[in-house]
Every structure is written in C-alpha cells, then in structure tokens.
Chains A and B, each alone.
Chain A
Amino acid sequence: MRPKPASGPRRRSRRPLVIITLLAVTLVTIDAVGGGALDPLRSVASDVFSPVADATRWVTTPVRNAWAGITGYDELRRDNEALREEVAELRSEVASRENDSEELRRLQSEVGIEVQGDIPFQIARVASGPRNNFTDHRLEIDKGSSSGLEVGMPVTAGNGVVGRLVRVARTRSVVQLATDPKFVIGVRVGETQDIGVGHGSGAGNPFVVDRGIELEDDVEVGDAVLTSGLERSVMPPDQVVGRVAEVQPDEAARSLILRVDFAAELSQLDVVKVLEWVPSS
C-alpha cells in the first residue's frame, strides 16, 4: 500500500468539464443539423489511419487468429457443418437455375422482351465489421472513391441485398446494412408481383415488409422478395432480398406483414459486390 502524495487540498476547477461539454454538444449539434456535416472529417481520418491500421492488423494476425480459434472453435465447427450441407443443396439448385435462366433467355428473345443489361459492379473485401459494441448496422469495405464508388451505390453478396454505401472515403467506404431499421426500400413479391415497402428490423432479425401488401393478396411462405426499382427507388430493380418466412395479417391496417429471411448471409460477410448504380435524385 502506497501513500497518496497529492499536492494538498485545492479548489476544484470545473472549467474543463464545462468546456468539453459545450464543445461536444456543439459538435453533436453540427453533425445532427448538417445531416452528417462532419462525415468528411471521418473520411479523412479513415484515409489517414486505414493504412496504419491495416499494417497493424497484418502484424497482429497470429494473435487475432489464435483468439478467434480459442473463443470461436465450437461456433466454427457448427458453421462448417451447416455450410457443407448448404453447399450440397446449392450445387443442385445452381444446376436447376442455369437451366431455368437459359430457358428464360430463349423465351425472352422469342417474344421480343427487352432485358435490362447487367449492372457493372466491383468486388470489395470487408475491411472491418461494426466498430461499436452496441448494435451497429454498418461495416467498412476496402474500396472507395479512388475505385469509382459513390454514396448510394447498392451492395450485394451471393445475389442477395446487403445494403448501400452511406459514406465513401478515398480508399474505404461504409455500408449501411439492410438489417438497419432505417434501411427502407420498395420491394416486389416475385410470384404475385405485389408491390410494398420494407425495412430492416435489427441484427439477426428478418426484413419486414409492412406497407403496401393488401390483406387479399395471395402471398405465401417461400415466395421470393425482390427490390421493386420503382421511380426514385434507392435500389435497382430485381435484386433479391430474400424469401418470405412468415405472413401475418394486420386486420387494422387491412394489410399483410411479411417477414423475409435475407438471401445474403449478413452476419458472415467477407467479400461483397458493389453495383455501379446510383439512385436518381
């Protein structure tokens, strides 16, 4: 036990506390009123610190891998088993889809329907997951404006919607995940062509379509849900969101609430596709 050699009693100044409180409130207000007015500062910081952080990540790879092995071994084994089963199912599905696609192309050319060309895209790697310990529906990818990316571009993985770019620095971009309750998009039910509006409902939860699908509409569990791509939509048409897992009638609103399982595995993203498509303002 050591004595505390403090410099004796003195009057406590609250000035630093008052100053930092005023400064912080000013910054929060500027950010709130300006709608992300301080985002450029974050982008510059991202460009400056990312190379150093990447180098640190490279140096600490053995430590991080060892940690992941110790703390996530059981989970990895379960994931491995589940993935093996999924790969087997997908292989058979791919074969069937290739056949369907070919047939569709042939029919479209016979009938003369104009098909929208494939949207050009860029492949990006997930640089880091959510940084906040609290639920955070954002992640960072390793490409930015130097690769031609822009705010608003849609992000997909395995043909399923992942989210959209909300901040783009020179070499990094931030993706708002589709699980974010503030992620709102127009959707279309593939089988019935009914149009609705849906939003995220938190990490690990399904996508919820709670507007636009009427009580009488014939939507069933298993139906595919795609982006509608209507005018002023933030997503291009026909991007797969997922499949309906639950249909719940809302008698008061005379509508159906659809809970949709995401097609993309949002909790285990490694590589994503950024579509070079910007919503019309």
Chain B
Amino acid sequence: MGALLVSEELKVVARTALVLFGAYVLQLGLFDDLRLFSVHPEVLLAIGSGTAIAWGAERGAVVGFAAGLLADLSLSGRFGLTALAWGVTCYGIGLLSEGLARRSRLVDAVLMAVGGAGGVAAYAVIAALFGESTLGDDALFVIIGMVAAWSMVLSPLVVPVCRWAGQHPELRAAR
C-alpha cells in the first residue's frame, strides 16, 4: 500500500513537472508575444493559481513557487523574487478556495483572476523591497488588470489541466 502511494506521488510530481515545463516553453514560444496593452499572460502563474484552486493551499504554494523559479530563469531581476511572490500568492488563493462553500467554473475563473492580480501585485511589492522600481512603474495597474483578465480567460483550460496533474487516490479535488 505504501509503495503504491509513493508511486502515485511520483506520478503527481511527474505530471506537474510536465505541465510546468510545457507552460514554460509555451510562455517563451508563444505567450510572450501575445500582448494586449503591452501585457502578456503569465501562464506559469496561472498554473500555480490553478493548482491552488484545484488542490488547495499547500500544493498551490509549492507549485506556485516552482513556477516562479522557472519564470526567474528567463527574467532579469533577482533570482527567487518571482518564486517568493507567486508561492505566497498561490498559498493565499488555496486558502480562499478551500474556504468557499460552493464552487463553479465562474468562481474558479474569478479566483484565477484574483491569483493573477495578486501574483503581479506581490511581485511588485517584493521586488520594490529589493530595490527594483516596480511600484513606480507607470503601467502597474494596467499590468495587474491585464494579467488578471488573461488568467480569467485561461481558467477553463488551466484549472482542468491542474486537476489532472494532481490526481491522487488519497486526495479529492475541490470539485
């Protein structure tokens, strides 16, 4: 029974890694160029939020952190800033998700939007603490709004994928 559970855990890790690396490649090869009002979707952040919505705060925090680390590989700021911002945000989204009594696709989409906005805002605040000028960026609120909108649009695709990636016989998804 124990070996079976370890094997299931490994499957979850493998599926999640596959989703994260797939999202990373899509971000670099497609989504970086899909800009609206100069803002592109943050697919990796959406994967973190989607995991938090589907599987709760703890797993959301870990996947959000891993997604942030991947994003940090291609960004020019301090390494680890995005990981910290997104890990904390996804933990919060997971808590919000677990606290909701009723769930629907619309609620998931709204949570995804909150995750997108929260992830960008958290990054702006944390990066500013480390000397970046993110809080003074003229487009700060446009970026927050657009990433939230993009995350909402991606919700019908991302949340089911995250639910699939985290399937485990001892856990049940939030819906």
Complex contact B80–A28 (CB within 8 A): yes
In the complex, are the beta carbons of B28 and A17 less than 8 A apart?
no
Q: Which of B40-56 contact A (CB under 8 A)?
A: 40, 42
Q: B91 to A4, Cβ gap below 8 A?
A: no
Within 8 Å by CB of B147, from A42, A68, A133, lies: A133
Residues of A within 8 A of B164 (CB): none
B28, chain A: closest CB distance, angstroms? 4
Give Cα A4–Cα B146 distance, bound, in whole angstroms.
29
Q: Which residues of B in the span 131-165 have a Cβ within 8 Å of any Cβ on A?
A: 132-134, 137, 139-140, 143, 146-147
Over the window 72-86 of chain A, the binary record of Cβ atoms lying under 8 Å from chain B Cβ atoms (1 yes, 0 no) is 000000000000000
Contact A133 B42 (CB under 8 A): yes
Contacts of B147 in A (CB 8 A): 133
Q: With an 8 A cutoff between CB atoms, is A94 at the interface?
A: no
B105-135 contact mask (Cβ, 8 Å, vs A): 1 or 0: 0000000000000001001100100101110
Shortest distance from the beta carbon of A192 to any chain B beta carbon, whole Å? 33
In the complex, which residues of chain B have a beta carbon less than 8 angstroms from the beta carbon of A49? 24-25, 28, 73-74
Among B33, B79, B88, residue most surrounded by chain A Cβ atoms (within 10 Å): B79
How many residues of chain B are within 8 Å of chain A by beta carbon?
Answer: 60
Checking B30, B57, B75, B120 against A131 with a beta-carbon cut-off of 8 angstroms, the contacting residue is B75
Residues in chain B near residue A52, CB distance under 8 A:
25, 29
CA distance A32 to B81 in the complex (A): 11
Q: Return chain A residues, CB-CB under 8 Å to B73.
A: 41-42, 45-46, 49
Q: Would you call B120 and A133 a contact (CB within 8 A)?
A: yes
Are A134 and B84 within 8 A (Cβ)?
Answer: no
Chain A 1-42 near chain B by CB (<8 Å), digits 1 or 0: 111111100001100110011011111101110000010011
Further contacts, 17 of them, CB under 8 A, given A13-B58, A56-B30:
A2-B104, A3-B103, A4-B174, A6-B172, A16-B62, A24-B81, A31-B78, A31-B80, A45-B74, A49-B73, A53-B25, A56-B29, A63-B30, A64-B34, A133-B120, A133-B146, A138-B76
Interface residues of A (CB under 8 A from B): 1-7, 12-13, 16-17, 20-21, 23-28, 30-32, 38, 41-42, 45-46, 49, 52-57, 59-60, 63-64, 67-68, 71, 128-129, 131-136, 138, 174
